[in-house]
């Protein structure tokens, strides 16, 4: 898989206040001509095409962020629907789905050039993340159950000494429910 080179533009080199103002102008749909004039009035010579390239890159980044936020919102909505599904499970399911979609969309001619070693390493990493998550869930459940058992023991001990009738009645009730 090919790495993208980091983009450097004239706008990236502007002082932060000026760059932030340009970003806001792009988000507010100012024309490229208006943005060029604004930058030039602040003492920096810039071309219309430089602003256009920067705006395209910024809009692409903003679109990616919006998509990520939408995906996260969808994961949160799904996890709220199911009591036993937490956010981590939802994210892992989303990532697994995206991996499978990416594999299915590889054209036949690109299969020959695919770096399967990296693909396999990523699949193993995803599998480890799921396994680690399940282990944490089990450990947490065990700790909670152990704590509950200890608490129950303290309550029953205190109850048997201070309120023996209530203790006998509670023990009888629990025994009936276990059958």
User: DSSP per residue over 116-175, as a string?
Assistant: HHHHHHHHHHHHHHHHHHHHHHHHHHHHHHHHHHHHHHHHHHHHHHH-HHHHHHHHHHHH
**112 occurs within a structural domain:** no
pLDDT digit string, tens, across residues 121-163:
877 787 787 778 778 878 888 888 788 788 888 888 888 888 8
User: 63 lies in which domain range?
Assistant: 8-85
The count of structural domains within the chain is 1
**Distance in angstroms between the alpha carbons of the first and the last residue of the chain:** 60
Residue scoring higher pLDDT (99 or 30): 30
**101 occurs within a structural domain:** no
* pLDDT value of position 1: 46
Q: What is the DSSP letter of 6?
A: P
**176 occurs within a structural domain:** no
**Residue 171 and residue 46: Cα distance in Å, rounded?**
83
* pLDDT value of position 126: 73
**14 occurs within a structural domain:** yes
**109 occurs within a structural domain:** no
* pLDDT value of position 3: 53
Residue scoring higher pLDDT (94 or 37): 37
**163 occurs within a structural domain:** no
60, pLDDT greater than 60: yes
């Amino acid at each position: 898989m090919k790495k993208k080179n980091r983009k450097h533009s004239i706008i990236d080199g502007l002082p932060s206040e000026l760059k932030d103002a340009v970003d806001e102008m792009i988000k507010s749909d100012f024309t490229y001509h208006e943005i060029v004039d604004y930058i030039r009035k602040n003492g920096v010579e810039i071309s219309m095409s430089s602003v256009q390239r920067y705006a395209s890159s910024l809009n692409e980044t903003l679109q990616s962020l919006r998509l990520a936020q939408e995906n996260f919102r969808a994961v949160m909505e799904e996890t709220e629907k199911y009591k036993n599904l937490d956010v981590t499970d939802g994210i892992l399911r989303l990532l697994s789905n995206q991996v499978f979609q990416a594999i299915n969309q590889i054209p036949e001619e690109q299969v020959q050039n695919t770096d399967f070693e990296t693909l396999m390493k990523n699949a193993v990493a995803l599998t480890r993340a799921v396994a680690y998550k399940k282990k944490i869930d089990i450990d947490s459940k065990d700790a909670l159950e152990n704590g509950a058992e200890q608490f129950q023991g303290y309550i029953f001990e205190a109850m048997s000494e201070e309120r023996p009738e209530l203790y006998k009645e509670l023990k009888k009730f629990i025994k009936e429910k276990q059958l």
